[in-house]
Structure 1
Amino acid sequence: MAVPVLVAVLAAVLAGAGAQCPAAADLRGVNGTRVCAELFTDDSPYYDKCCGGKSLVVECGADVPYVPWEWSGSVSSLVVGPRCQLTVWALPGKHGKMKTFGSGAVPRLQEVRRGLFGTWNNAIRGYYCKCN
């Protein structure tokens, strides 16, 4: 009996995960244009409080080998639009470890491994975003 209750509670928790993060399908620019991704400076131990702080909208086809200084090392969560891929690098000039994120929300980059000891939290120094 305890297992079905635990499964129901876990399903309810996961259904609310990323609640503050916008849905991938909801990513739209100011004028309604398609957006490849959106990057956020804040995350939280609580998934419903992730994707906060400042946000950086990434247009389709954006190729940024050097993230602007105010964003370098400060991205903690992200959302990638439908039929889009965001490739990120850990070092400026698109060097170092690389990771590609598909469509959907990643509310806590500290849960995404970068090598043996690191995570992608506050580690993005360059990116390329493409949409089909």
Structure 2
Amino acid sequence: MKLLTVYILPMLVVLSMAGCPLPAEVKDDEGNKLCARLYADSSVYYEDCCAGDYLDVKPGEDVPYIALRFNNRVSSLVVATRCELTVWSKKPKDGVTKKFSSGSYPRLAEVKKGLFGNWDDSISSYYCKCN
């Protein structure tokens, strides 16, 4: 019981405060399921993450050249339930790669990329698939 109180409950509080939608809520304006949503802004405060401009990623979308206004600007992302987003640090689908499974990633600055880097403002290409 002590483990639950000390480690798990504080983590649940942080996750519940995050400003990112739940993976099951990632849908376009018409209510269609998306594969992922990429956000241009993040914050040191979790409740302010997943803000600003966003790019909707449809299931099966394969983009070797991300839109210029999002190139190396993605700071938060949410991958829908039963989906997987593969990203690359360079165009066209080159450089360091990372697979994001279903979930919310409010601060890509906390996701390691190699020994010294992180994924904040580092995405240049992507492929997203859903089951």
Higher strand share: 2
- The 5-angstrom pairing of residues 28-107 of structure 1 reads 28-107=27-106
CA distance in 2, matches of 1:110, 1:11: 18
Equivalenced residue count is 130
What stretches of structure 1 move > 6 A for 4+ residues in a row?
A: none
Report which of the two structures shows the higher radius of gyration computed on alpha carbons.
1
Structure 2 gaps of 5+ residues are none
Distance 1:4 1:29, change over 3 A: closer
Distance 1:115 1:17, change over 3 A: farther
2:112: which partner in 1? 113
For normalisation by structure 1, the TM-score amounts to: 0.90
Q: Aligned AA for 1:29?
A: D
**Conserved in 2, the CA contact under 8 Å of 1:16 and 1:47?**
no
Identity score, percent: 44
**Conserved in 1, the CA contact under 8 Å of 2:14 and 2:46?**
no
Distance 1:46 1:95, change over 3 A: same
For normalisation by structure 2, the TM-score amounts to: 0.90
CA distance in 2, matches of 1:8, 1:92: 39
* Deviation (angstroms), 1:7: 5.0
* Deviation (angstroms), 1:16: 2.6
CA RMSD of aligned residues (A): 2.0
